[in-house]
Structure formats: C-alpha cells, structure tokens
Chain A
Amino acid sequence: MTTLNQYLIVSALLFAVGLAGALTRRNAILVLVGIELMLNAANLNFIAFWRFGPNPELLRGVMFVVFSIGIAAAEAAVGLALIIAVYRHYKTTDLNRMDTLKG
C-alpha cells in the first residue's frame, strides 16, 4: 500500500524540478513551464491530503484543486500572451536580453 509520505515526496521532487528549471533556464516559455510544474506539485499535495485526511466526504481538497486548475489555465494564457508581446518587441525570448524597462 502507498502511504501519504510517498505522495508528498513525489510532490516535493516535482516542486524541486520545477524550481530548478524556473531558476536556471533562460527561455521565458520554459520558466513558465517550471512554474506550471510547481503549481501541479501543490495540486498533488492538496489531493493527497484530501484523500488521507479526516473528512474526505466534504470534498474540500478536490474543490481547491478544481479552482486552482482554472486559475492556472488563466495564468498560462495571460503569461504566454505577455511572452508573445515581449517577443514582438525584443525579437527574443531570452530573459537575459530583456534588460530594459522602456524600449
């Protein structure tokens, strides 16, 4: 049988991988992908705690994850639109070359 600890460790691994990607990659799209991975790690934690928690019939964790998925979708849409708008201006998605505020 799987215990709660195993799910939490998988989630911690996913969070660490997403954090490493968001900190080291220089492409703006991949930074966004890293943030999505961290969000998914948090969602996995919510579902695991809901399943192993005391009152699963209240569906609190599931509700939180459903709303979190909706907000993540909105965030991805706006974030990628911003990246495309910035790309049109700088002609690059390399974060190290986007170093001015007024272009």
Chain B
Amino acid sequence: MTISFIIICCIVAVGAIAAMSLRNLVHCALCLTVSLAGLAALYLRLEAQFVGFAQILVYIGAVAILIVFAILLTRSNEPDESAVPRAGSWSGVAGVAVALVVFGTLVLSILSSSVGKTDLPASPGATVKDLGNQLMTHYVVPLEAIALLLTSAMIGAVLIAKPDKLRAGRVVKGGGEHASGT
C-alpha cells in the first residue's frame, strides 16, 4: 500500500461521507465533486487514462453542475432540519444499519477470497488509440445505441422539466386553430 493510494482513498471516502451527511445541499454537491475527482485519480493509478479523463469530463464537468443547478432551481439550498435524519429517528438508524451490514458482508467475502491477493501485473500498455479502434470496430453497435440513448434522454429531460404553462399554451393554440378551422 503506497502513500498516494492512502491519500486518494482518504479523499474519496471523506468526500463521499461528507456528501451524504452534510446539512447544506450545496456543500454536499461540492463534496461529491471532490470524491469523484479522487475516483478519477484512482482510475489514473490503475492505468485507465481514458476512463479517468472521461470521469472528470462527464461527472465533474456535467453531472456535478447538473446537480448544482437542480439544487438551486428547487431552492432547497437553505439548510432545513427535515433533510438530515435525526439521531434517534428509526428510519435513519435502520438505513445506516443496512448499509453497515452490506459493507461488512462485502468486506468479509473480499477478505476470504483468494482472488485479490495478487500483486499488480505488468502494465497492459493499452492506449487511447487501441480504445478508439475497438470502439469503431468491435463495439460500434453499442456506441450507436448509446448515442441514440443520450439524444432521447436529452429530449426527454427537456420535455419533462418544461413548465406546464408552455405545454398548456401549445394545447390552447392547437385547440384555437381547430376551432377556427371548423
């Protein structure tokens, strides 16, 4: 275990715990960003350069900004008591207990398996060029499918989040045309 690994793990863990436990939602979004940046550093340590930079671009550049926008648009950035589970509340204790049981089970099964004892093998030497070649040949159908998915998700997000007034306006206008036509 090297020092850089310990530092990155601390950043990831503290960021995630802070993101899930702080009171102010904007602080939560900031801590989430820190945690995701630590994860990108872990990907770079595992020599997955493209995934590391994609993580920075997509998660820190897009998803975190989207979350900040959602927090500000819903005006829930004021710290409110209901957002934080009270210490004695039944549901909060139960949720943390379930998470602890899951964590304990995972750690026990990881430690009891013989898979993870191996040291880091030699570098695979996979470059972004190889990745692009694979994407354009072997994985071209999933690539097109995900392009379609992202387009439809974008259109769907705009349609869902559009104010009701705009939708109602179009309906009234269509009805008016219909009435004048008859």
**Interface membership of B168, Cβ < 8 A:** no
Residues of A within 8 A of B12 (CB): 10, 14
- The secondary structure that dominates the A interface is helix
Among residues 39 to 86 in chain A, which have CB atoms less than 8 Å away from a CB atom of chain B?
40, 43-44, 47-48, 50-52, 56-57, 59, 61-63, 65-67, 69-78, 80-85
Q: How many residues of A contact B (CB 8 A)?
A: 71
Known: A29-B74, A51-B46, A84-B70. Is A16-B100 also a contact (CB below 8 A)? yes
Known: A27-B76, A66-B51. Is A1-B82 also a contact (CB below 8 A)? no
Residues of A within 8 A of B28 (CB): 30, 33
Among residues 86 to 112 in chain B, which have CB atoms less than 8 Å away from a CB atom of chain A?
91-92, 94-96, 98-100, 102-103, 106-107, 110-111
Among residues 78 to 103 in chain A, which have CB atoms less than 8 Å away from a CB atom of chain B?
78, 80-85, 87-88, 92-94, 96
Residues of B within 8 A of A66 (CB): 50-51, 54, 131, 135
- Decide: A74 and B149 in contact? CB cutoff 8 A: yes
- Decide: A7 and B16 in contact? CB cutoff 8 A: no
Residues of B within 8 A of A23 (CB): 91, 94-96, 98-99
- Decide: A9 and B107 in contact? CB cutoff 8 A: yes
Look across to chain B and name the residue whose beta carbon is closest to the beta carbon of A74.
B153
Among residues 57 to 73 in chain B, which have CB atoms less than 8 Å away from a CB atom of chain A?
58-59, 62-63, 66-67, 69-71, 73
**Interface membership of B136, Cβ < 8 A:** no
Contact with A along B129-143 (1 / 0, CB 8 A): 011001100010010
Contact with B along A1-38 (1 / 0, CB 8 A): 11111111110111111111101111101101110110
**Interface membership of B34, Cβ < 8 A:** no
Residues of B within 8 A of A84 (CB): 70, 73-74, 160-161
Partner of A44, one of B39, B110, B116: B39
Show 8 A/B contacts (Cβ-Cβ < 8 Å), sorted by A.
A3-B120, A9-B107, A13-B13, A13-B103, A17-B20, A33-B19, A47-B43, A61-B48
Question: Which 8 residue pairs are nearest across A and B when measured between Cβ atoms?
Answer: A23-B95, A21-B20, A56-B124, A20-B99, A16-B103, A5-B116, A74-B153, A24-B95
Alpha-carbon distance A32/B19, docked complex (angstroms) = 12
Known: A59-B134, A77-B157. Is A18-B126 also a contact (CB below 8 A)? no
Partner of B5, one of A6, A21, A34, A87: A6
